[in-house]
Amino acid sequence: MRRNKNGRIYLPALLINTALILFTCCHNGPTEKGDQRPNVLVILTDQHTNDALSYLGIPHLKTPAMDQLAEEGTFFTASYCTSPVCGPARSSLITGRMPHETGVVWNSTNIRSEVPTIGQVFKEAGYNTAWAGKWHLPQAYPAKNKMDSVAGFAVVPFQSLDKEWDLGEDTDGPIADATVNYLNNYKEDQPFLLTVSLHNPHDICHVPRRPGEYAKAHELENLPPLPNNYEIDPNEPQFLEEKRLMDHYGDELLKTLDYSDEDWQAYLYHYYRFTEMVDNEIGKIMKALKENGFDENTIVVLTSEHGDGGGAHKWAAKLSLYEEAATVPFIIRYKGRVPAQNIDRNQLVSGIDLAPTIVDYAGLSSSTNFTGKSLKPVLENPGEKLREYLVVQLADDKLDSSRQARLIRNERYKYNLYNQGERNEQLFDLWKDPGEQHNLAYVAAYQSIKNKMHMALDEWIAATGDDFYEWSTLPNSTEKYP
C-alpha cells in the first residue's frame, strides 16, 4: 500500500501499456516444419523466499496462479539461490554455473563472454529465444535502453511510464502484458524459449527506504504474526553485525534497526501484498499460454533470484546466508512428464540446476559444461539423490570486495563460513532447528560434524576454482579446527 499526494492510502493500479509494440520472433535457424519439441517458459520473480506461497499453507497471502503451477507440477522446497544477490543469482540461472564461474560476483556486471547462456544454447538448437523484463547483467531493463537482444535472447519490448523503473508495481504489469502479446502473436513453426523476469516482491526494499509512502501498522488490519525465529542471536557473527550497520548496499537493515514488533508485522504485510501483485501478473501469462494452445507442450519453470529476510532474525533484506534470504521457490510443470501434486522436501536444488534441467527435458544436444545438474533423473526416479551437498556464495559489498562468505548444506546440516570477523562460523541442524536459532559451531559435541562440512566445502572450492580463500587469511583445512 502506498500514499497519494494527499496522504490517502491506496493500492496503485498497474499501468496500462498503451504503446505496446507487437513483437514477433524471427527465424533463428533451420528446423523441420511443425517442430514438435517442447516450448520452454521460465518465469522469474525477485526477492521471493521459498515459502511465500499460499500453496504451502501460509494463511496470510493468496497466490492462486503460483499455487496452480505447483498443483500441476513438482515443487522443490529445499531450493537455494547460488547467491543472495540479484545479478550473481541471475547469471547462474541462465548459465548453470556458479557466480565465480560466470564472473558476476556483484551486481551490474557482464557474464563472461566464454560462458554460454541458455539463450545461446537454445538458439543454436533452432529455438526462438526471447527475454521479457528485468535483466541486470548489467542493464536493469534492456527494453528501457532500446536494446534488441541480450546474450542470445531477443528483447521483448514493453513500456513503463515510471521514469525510475525501480518499482515492480509499475513495471510488472507492462512486462506481463508484453508477454501476453508475444504469446498471442506467436505463429512460428519453431518452438520458443521465453524467459519472463518480473520484479516483485522486490518492492519490499522500499518499505524501510520510503517510509512515508507505505501504510504503518496502526493503519492496517489482519497483520501477520512475527516469525518464530524473530530474535537476533546475541552471538551472531561479527560479519553480520557489521552488515546491519552499513549505510549503502543493504541499507534496509540500518533503516529497520529501531523497528518495533508492529513495524516488522507491517513489513511482512507489505511483503505478502507485493507477492500477490506478482502472482496476479503470472496468472495473466499462464492464461495466455493456455488460450493460445501452448499449455500442453510447454515446460514451465517458476523460480526466483533469491529470497528476503522476512523479519526472521530481524533481517530486512537479502545479502545473508540465513534460510529466508538463501532459499527460493522452484516449481517445474511439464504435463504428462513431470509428476503433478508433488512437493519434494528432500532433494537439494540449486539455481544452477535450471539450465541443465530444461536442456535435458527439451532433448537438446549441447557441449555446454554445466556445474548444475538436471532434475530430470530424480523427477523420473524419486528414490535417487541429486547431490550430497550444495553451496551458496555471498559477496555482500562491492565497495569492499574482501567481504565473502560461503554456505554448504547437506541433507541435515548447514554450515556457514565468513572470511573475516569474530565468531565467523555457524552450524545448524535444520531437522531440529529449521529457524537457525541455535548455532552449534562452537559446541564440543558437534566439532566432528563441523569439520566434515568444512572439509566438503574445501573440496568444492578446489574443484570449482572458487577464489574464496584468496580473499581471506582463514585456513582452508579443517586440521586447524579443534
How many other β-carbons are positioned within 10 Å of the β-carbon of residue 407?
23
pLDDT of residue 18 exceeding 50, the answer is no
Least confidently predicted of 90-94, 283-287, 475-479: 475-479
Q: Give 9's pLDDT tier (boundaries 50, 70, 90).
A: very low
The C-alpha angle 191, 192, 196, rounded to 5 degrees, equals 160
Looking at residue 366, its pLDDT comes to 79
Q: What share of the chain is helix, strand, coil (3-state, %, to 5)?
A: 30, 15, 55
Find all residues with CB under 8 Å of 203, minimum gap 6, and list them: 167, 168, 169, 274, 277
132 three-state secondary structure = strand
Looking at residue 172, its pLDDT comes to 96
Global pTM reads 0.91
Which has the higher per-residue pLDDT, 285 or 23? 285
Any idea of the CA torsion for 420, 326, 315, 108, to the nearest 10 degrees? 80
pLDDT of residue 349 exceeding 60, the answer is yes
pLDDT of residue 326 exceeding 70, the answer is yes
DSSP 339-395: -SSEEE-SS-EEGGGHHHHHHHHHT-------SS--SHHHHH-TTS-S-S-EEEEE-
Q: In the chain, pLDDT over 90 holds for what percent of residues?
A: 84
Looking at residue 111, its pLDDT comes to 95
Comparing CA positions, the residue from 283, 268, 133, 287 lying closest to residue 201 is 268
CATH architecture of 36-384: 3-Layer(aba) Sandwich (3.40)
The CATH fold assigned to 392-480 is Arylsulfatase, C-terminal domain (3.30.1120)
**How would you classify the pairing of strands 153-155 and 149-150?**
antiparallel
193 three-state secondary structure = strand
Q: Span 39-64, mean pLDDT?
A: 96
Q: Give 153's pLDDT tier (boundaries 50, 70, 90).
A: very high
- Per residue in 195-244, pLDDT tens? 999 999 999 999 999 999 999 999 999 999 999 999 999 999 999 999 99
Least confidently predicted of 157-166, 265-274, 332-341, 364-373: 157-166
Looking at residue 161, its pLDDT comes to 72
pLDDT of residue 474 exceeding 80, the answer is no
Q: Give 2's pLDDT tier (boundaries 50, 70, 90).
A: low
- Distance, CA of 246 to CA of 296 (rounded, Å): 49
Task: Looking at mean pLDDT, say which of 15-19, 58-62, 71-75 comes out highest.
Answer: 71-75
- Distance, CA of 359 to CA of 350 (rounded, Å): 16
For every residue of 271-336, which 3-state class applies, written as one string?
HHHHHHHHHHHHHHHHHHHHHCCCCCCEEEEEEECCCCCCCHHHCCCCCCCCHHHHECCEEEECCC
Looking at residue 108, its pLDDT comes to 82
pLDDT of residue 105 exceeding 50, the answer is yes
Q: Give 363's pLDDT tier (boundaries 50, 70, 90).
A: very high
DSSP 400-451: STT--EEEEE-SSEEEEEESSSSS-EEEEETTT-TT--S--TT-GGGHHHHH
- Per residue in 261-319, pLDDT tens? 999 999 999 999 999 999 999 999 999 999 999 999 999 999 999 999 999 999 999 99
pLDDT of residue 32 exceeding 90, the answer is no
Phi-psi region of 131 (alpha: psi -120 to 50; beta: other; left: phi over 0): beta
pLDDT of residue 22 exceeding 50, the answer is no
pLDDT of residue 26 exceeding 60, the answer is no
pLDDT of residue 59 exceeding 60, the answer is yes
pLDDT of residue 397 exceeding 60, the answer is yes
Cell of 158: 514493453
Looking at residue 301, its pLDDT comes to 98
- Distance, CA of 429 to CA of 49 (rounded, Å): 20
Q: Give 477's pLDDT tier (boundaries 50, 70, 90).
A: very low
**How would you classify the pairing of strands 39-45 and 192-197?**
parallel
Side chain identity at residue 140, one-letter code: A
Q: Which residues of 376-385 are buried (b: 16+ CB within 10 A; e: fewer)?
A: bebbeeeeee
Q: Span 72-92, mean pLDDT?
A: 97
Looking at residue 368, its pLDDT comes to 87
Which has the higher per-residue pLDDT, 173 or 13? 173
- Per residue in 422-436, pLDDT tens? 999 999 999 999 999
Q: In the chain, pLDDT over 70 holds for what percent of residues?
A: 91
- Distance, CA of 58 to CA of 167 (rounded, Å): 25
Looking at residue 478, its pLDDT comes to 43
Looking at residue 387, its pLDDT comes to 97
Q: Span 51-56, mean pLDDT?
A: 95
Looking at residue 475, its pLDDT comes to 54
Q: Give 185's pLDDT tier (boundaries 50, 70, 90).
A: very high
What residue ranges do the domains of the chain occupy? 36-384, 392-480
- Per residue in 438-451, pLDDT tens? 999 999 999 999 99
Looking at residue 12, its pLDDT comes to 41
